[in-house]
Structure 1
Amino acid sequence: MDDQWDAVVSTLQELYKKHEVQSFDDMVNEKRLNFQNLALDQLRSQLDVFSTHSQNVESALGLIRVISSNLGGIIKQWEEEAEKTDERDVVYAESFQGRSFWTSPFNPSEPIVLESEVAYKPKRGGDGEWFQCQVIKISNDGTKFEVRDPEPDELGNPGQIYKCSWKDIILLPAVSAPKYQTPNYPGGTKVLARYPETTTFYPAVVIGHKRDGTCKLRFDGEEEVDKETEVARRLVLPYPARR
């Protein structure tokens, strides 16, 4: 880029020198002459002046085209380097891993990475008001996040984005998580589970489990007495007890 910029400066200097030799403004005085009263040798002299001026103009136009071309190359190179810098920044940001405040032997707690699914509870919410979100940003210390609600709003726009700390989220096991990372809960364990056909998590008690790991639960506050609900194991999280 430095070589291209030097070429631009050099060409500008050359253009300035041509203007010094035959100033473009000098032609204004020529317009005031009455050529009908000039002798033949004077007319020839004026013709030489016009010819020199015309050549300088053509040369200047050529220099301006060179300057424009070189400046275009500099701008393009700068834009490409800026784009590469942005790409490096994105890769670096994606390398951050979030930390888990809530840990349990029944669920993987880390790593929390971009696009990880989590249960999130706004600080203003009460018990049971956790809902599923996706991580979209992670701070470099791994304790602050931005998460997005997967549910669109009433107008169909993308879901709301929330800023939160590591105390406000619980990691959901990945779909591909090996079974040893999600052992069966003992009967009677209090958990936080996603209610079927919603994205909201509510407190529940484990009644049992099926061979594929699906949990049989009894949700708190169910209208139907002793109702059992089956929920996929990865959507049943350890209840976040106070620490």
Structure 2
Amino acid sequence: MLKIKNLTYTYPEGATALKDVTMELPKEHILAILGRSGSGKTTLLKCIGKFLKPQSGDIILNDESIFGIPREKLRRSIGIVFQELYLFPHLTILENMILAPVRVLKKDKEIVSKEAEDILAKLGIKDLCDRYPSQISGGQAQRAAIARALIMKPQYVLLDEPTSALDLNTTEEFGKWLLELKAKTTFVIVTHDVLFTQNIANFGFLFSKGKVQAQGTMEHIVETLKRKKHTGNDLPLRSNKH
């Protein structure tokens, strides 16, 4: 299990993004972290990935503080896909996928390449193996970045606004795919897309002003959004995708 304990993070310019956040992220679930831009949810992801170090609090993975785990080792347990994607522009999609398993996990290149092709096929982009990031669409790049995280077979995959570059049909297919995979990998979806997570998430957290304002089933989260507009969490309950 991944546990967040009393986490506080303040940016150098003085803005406090996380205020004494405590939460538990159980395995074999699809979890939603919802909130408007600036609510603290992406900062939380960056702390979990050790891109930022909180001023206080801790993050515990399987009874061990992540801040004592080397980042390369942590990547074997936690994969993160940020909205910016960070695909290496000089590598093909296939090369992007196999880089870490070959270099970090010391896996056989041919075996990993086959695994990569299988994952890309499930995401509907196997035909893009030999293309470079600049040669594919935003939605295709989104799926390629997620595939790259999955090939490490982590316990958790954290997704920052994963549907932002996907059309409605692709979003629906993506949701079905996550449901198929949740028995092996726990997905944590950080987003403002309530409708998407309402249909697939087991549990949700509602962020506002650096704090967890509500947590529970998605039914509870949606009811909270309907009931408590004054918290600043009046997220749209319908997708703006067409």
TM-score range, shorter chain: under 0.3
TM-score, normalization: structure 2? 0.21
Greater relative contact order (Cα 8 A, min sep 6): structure 1 or 2?
A: 2
Structure label with greater radius of gyration: 1
